[in-house]
């Protein structure tokens, strides 16, 4: 059944309980939850760069963590290569050989590297822990090769440096190298360039593309930045308060957004063209993103949506097909 699909999520949910006082819990009669991810289903094809985009608190990072096993879903299933992996506790991932196949690249190159380790040791650790090298020579070769692949050249010069001796861009390359050192099949890259200066972002983004074309790696690219999403991505899902509101081919979703939230998001993004920017009409929502504790009933956007109708506050909108492989979840688009 897997065929072309590498990763599949079915009705994925992740709720975090909110700590309340004993009295409050009696008065309320029920526990309250942060619904970080609330019933999300999607498929990621082999060799695809799939993007999840959304603002702070949308649940995009939690979705990524669920896929790499850093969080366990409250309910729903995750399939990898046709096999169900969502029930496997994280401690058994290594035994199942999943750790070698599924990796993550983190956002902050300043916080995600051990400051007391040489670059060499940072890259050696996953190889040793997962017992994929049999000799010191092999270890050395693989690390040097990976450093070269992330364009830290000459590799011998970078291998025996500490993270603080590297610039932000070089550190992020080390973070990418660490994510790729086990030669995984699927990598979740969570905002891999958001801490970098604009002039060097493209370099790191191009690395993802290179690993895809060279090794056939499949990526989930998580970002708040639709411009970089468009640059690297194939398909995109726009996330709002724990739900996907629109999915489709990246260019199609950005050029022809159908959901009011996507429209607002796209029109808020500055465009590096002063003439166009002065003509452009913004589509605005009311207020700001609410907390995912007790999100609004019905469509989660309805209190902020200028186009909201009666039904929006009562019933959750269905996912509607609006174009080839393009779906949006909005009552305006549904046939009633």
Partner 1 sequence: MPRKEVLRIEKLKTHYYTLGGIVKAVDGVDLRVYKGELVALVGESGCGKSTLAFSIMGMVPPPGRIVSGKIYLSDINLVELSDEELRKIRWSKVSMVFQGAMNSLNPVMKVGDQIIEAMLYHDVISRPEEGRSTVKHLFELVGLDPNRIDSYPHELSGGMKQRVVIAMAMALNPDLIIADEPTTALDVTTQAKIMEVLKDVQKKTGVSILLITHDLPLVAEVSDRVYIMYAGKIVETGDVFTIFKSPRHPYTQGLIGAVPSIRGPKKKLVALPGEPPDLRFPPPGCRFHPRCSKAMDICGKKEPPRIEFGPDDFVSCWLFAKEGERK
Report yes or no: 33 and 15 within 8 Å, Cβ to Cβ. Answer: yes
Phi then psi dihedrals of residue 125, to 5 deg: -55, -50
Cβ closest to partner 1, residue 142 vs residue 171 = 171
Q: Is 135 in the site for partner 1 (CB under 8 A)?
A: no
Cβ closest to partner 1, residue 160 vs residue 286 = 286
Distance CA 91, CA 167 (A): 34
Among the listed residues 100, 29, 104, the one whose alpha carbon sits nearest the alpha carbon of residue 67: 104
Q: Is 203 in the site for partner 1 (CB under 8 A)?
A: yes
| Binders in 167-196 for partner 1, by CB under 8 A | 167-170
Cβ closest to partner 1, residue 188 vs residue 254 = 254
Q: How far is the CB of 240 from partner 1 (least distance, A)?
A: 11
Q: How far is the CB of 208 from partner 1 (least distance, A)?
A: 13
Residue 222 vs residues 15, 53, 63, 158: alpha-carbon distances, Å: 20, 6, 9, 28
Under rule CB under 8 A, how many of the chain's residues touch partner 1?
Answer: 42
Q: Is 198 in the site for partner 1 (CB under 8 A)?
A: yes
Cβ closest to partner 1, residue 89 vs residue 274 = 274
Q: How far is the CB of 106 from partner 1 (least distance, A)?
A: 18
Among the listed residues 158, 60, 157, the one whose alpha carbon sits nearest the alpha carbon of residue 107: 60
Binding segment for partner 1 among 41-49, 118-126, 222-230, 325-333 (CB under 8 A)? Answer: 222-230
Q: How far is the CB of 252 from partner 1 (least distance, A)?
A: 12
Segments in 191-305 forming alpha helices (H): 198-215, 226-232, 250-255, 260-268, 274-279
Report yes or no: 187 and 126 within 8 Å, Cβ to Cβ. Answer: no
SS3 108: coil
Query: Is residue 23 classed exposed, middle or buried when 0-12, 13-18 and 19+ CB atoms within 10 A define those classes?
Result: exposed
Q: Is 45 in the site for partner 1 (CB under 8 A)?
A: no
Cβ closest to partner 1, residue 55 vs residue 77 = 55
Q: Is 199 in the site for partner 1 (CB under 8 A)?
A: yes
> Taking the chain, what is the end-to-end CA distance rounded to the nearest angstrom?
34
Cβ closest to partner 1, residue 140 vs residue 162 = 162
Largest CA distance in the chain: 68
189: Cβ contacts below 8 Å, ≥ 6 apart = 104, 105, 179, 208, 219, 220, 221, 222
Q: Of the candidates 175, 205, 322, 328, which one interacts with partner 1 according to CB under 8 A?
A: 205
Tokens of 52: 């999840």
Distance CA 93, CA 70 (A): 10
Q: How far is the CB of 321 from partner 1 (least distance, A)?
A: 23
Cβ closest to partner 1, residue 138 vs residue 273 = 273
| Binders in 238-277 for partner 1, by CB under 8 A | 251, 254, 264-266, 268-277
Binding site for partner 1 (CB under 8 A): 55-56, 167-170, 197-203, 205-206, 224, 226-228, 230-231, 251, 254, 264-266, 268-277, 282, 284-285, 287-289
């Amino acid at each position: 059944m897997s065929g072309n699909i590498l990763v599949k999520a079915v009705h994925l949910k992740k709720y975090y309980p909110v700590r309340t006082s004993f009295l409050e819990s009696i008065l309320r009669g029920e526990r309250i939850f942060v619904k970080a991810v609330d019933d999300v289903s999607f498929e990621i094809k082999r060799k695809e760069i799939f993007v999840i985009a959304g603002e702070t608190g949308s649940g995009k990072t939690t979705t990524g963590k669920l896929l790499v096993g850093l969080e366990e879903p409250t309910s729903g299933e995750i399939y990898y290569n046709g096999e169900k992996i969502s029930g496997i506790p994280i401690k058994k991932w290594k035994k199942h050989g999943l750790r070698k196949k599924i990796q993550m690249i983190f956002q902050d190159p300043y916080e995600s590297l051990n400051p007391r380790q040489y670059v060499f040791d940072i890259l050696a650790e996953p190889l040793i822990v997962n017992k994929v090298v049999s000799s010191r020579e092999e270890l050395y070769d693989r690390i040097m090769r990976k450093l070269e692949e992330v364009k830290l050249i000459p590799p011998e010069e970078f291998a025996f440096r500490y993270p603080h001796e590297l610039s932000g861009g070089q550190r992020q390359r080390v973070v990418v190298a660490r994510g790729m050192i086990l030669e995984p099949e699927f990598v979740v890259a969570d905002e891999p360039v958001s801490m970098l200066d604009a002039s060097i972002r493209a370099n790191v983004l191009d690395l993802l593309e290179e690993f895809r074309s060279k090794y056939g790696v499949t990526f989930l690219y998580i970002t708040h930045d639709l411009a970089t999403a468009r640059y690297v991505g194939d398909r995109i899902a726009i996330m709002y308060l724990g739900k996907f509101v629109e999915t489709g081919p990246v260019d199609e979703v950005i050029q022809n957004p159908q959901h009011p939230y996507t429209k607002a998001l796209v029109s808020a993004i500055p465009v590096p063209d002063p003439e166009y920017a002065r003509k452009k009409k913004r589509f605005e929502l009311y207020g700001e993103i609410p907390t995912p504790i007790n999100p609004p009933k019905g469509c989660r956007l309805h209190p902020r949506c200028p186009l909201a109708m009666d039904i929006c506050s009562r019933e959750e909108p269905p996912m509607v097909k609006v174009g080839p492989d393009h779906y949006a979840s909005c009552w305006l688009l549904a046939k009633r």
